[in-house]
């Protein structure tokens, strides 16, 4: 089974609809992240969470909200979707920084979201 | 604002040759550096990390780090068509501990 899973994998919705993207991980990592990727713009950080009680805005948080329901679950919501939120969304996890750990991120398979 | 810069490419390299990918970063205090490979429509996957100045080799891949010049590179020896992908350079930011990604370089290996 994949260590980081995202649901749904593809979603088409209409402008104004509320959408939730879900991420679950079995890696036991404390830290979780949401990114969006657009052609030519690379990966941009939306929100990140270093533990269940810690939520932080990234560089493009406007129009998004998140919920960290448990160590293993981190959800991203679009309260009222708009067409320029059409993108590929990735969830990622990483360990708490500690001696001997590779302090990198591990990505889920992505969710392709289209807002009409 | 902390930045990671990469040439967007595409970089075309003949099969069997060495592909050289470059990256510069603005945060002088950064200590951790990563290279990810991303196939079209897929998620990024880590292929190399480097923390110390110098070279680090793993199979056909070599990461090179020069902190004084704020420069990190990835060499791919004996390039294969399966190496055709976008390569993302990433740097861990000091202070807030986030990882900052470059926009990626598209690599195309010519058969």
Q: For chain B, how are helix, strand and coil distributed in percent, rounded to 5?
A: 5, 55, 45
Contacts of B94 in chain A (CB under 8 A): none
pLDDT, tens digit, 9 for 90 and up, residues A44-103 = 999 999 999 999 999 899 999 999 999 999 999 999 999 999 999 999 999 877 666 677
One DSSP character per residue, A87-98 reads EEEEEEEEPPP-
Interface test with B, best of A9, A34, A42, A60 (most B CBs within 10 A): A42
Report phi then psi at B83, rounded to 5.
-80, -10
pLDDT, tens digit, 9 for 90 and up, residues B10-25 = 999 999 999 999 999 9
B56 touches chain A (CB under 8 A): no
- Closest residue on chain B to A37 (Cα): B103
How far apart CA A26 and CA A34 sit, in angstroms, is: 17
pLDDT, tens digit, 9 for 90 and up, residues B36-74 = 999 998 999 999 999 999 999 999 999 999 999 999 999
Nearest chain A CA: its distance from B43 CA (Å):
5
């Amino acid at each position: 089974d994949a260590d980081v899973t995202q649901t749904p994998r593809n979603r088409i919705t209409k402008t104004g609809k509320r959408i939730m993207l879900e991420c679950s991980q079995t890696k036991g990592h404390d830290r979780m992240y949401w990114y969006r990727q657009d052609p030519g713009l690379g990966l941009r950080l939306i929100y990140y969470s270093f533990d269940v009680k810690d939520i932080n805005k990234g560089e493009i948080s406007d129009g998004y909200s998140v919920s960290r329901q448990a160590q293993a679950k981190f959800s991203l919501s679009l309260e009222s979707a708009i067409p320029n939120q059409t993108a590929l969304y990735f969830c990622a996890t990483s360990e708490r920084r500690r001696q001997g750990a590779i302090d990198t991120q591990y990505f889920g398979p992505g969710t392709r979201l289209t807002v009409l | 604002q902390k930045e990671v810069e990469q040439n967007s490419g595409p970089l075309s390299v003949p099969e069997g040759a060495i592909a050289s990918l470059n990256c510069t970063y603005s945060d002088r205090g950064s200590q951790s550096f990563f290279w990810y490979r991303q196939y079209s429509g897929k998620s990024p996957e880590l292929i190399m990390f480097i923390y110390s100045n110098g070279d680090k080799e793993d199979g056909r891949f070599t990461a090179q780090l020069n902190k004084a010049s704020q420069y990190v590179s990835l060499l791919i020896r004996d390039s294969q068509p399966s190496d055709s992908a976008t390569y993302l350079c990433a740097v861990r930011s000091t202070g807030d501990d986030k990882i900052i990604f470059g926009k990626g370089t598209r690599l195309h290996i010519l058969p």
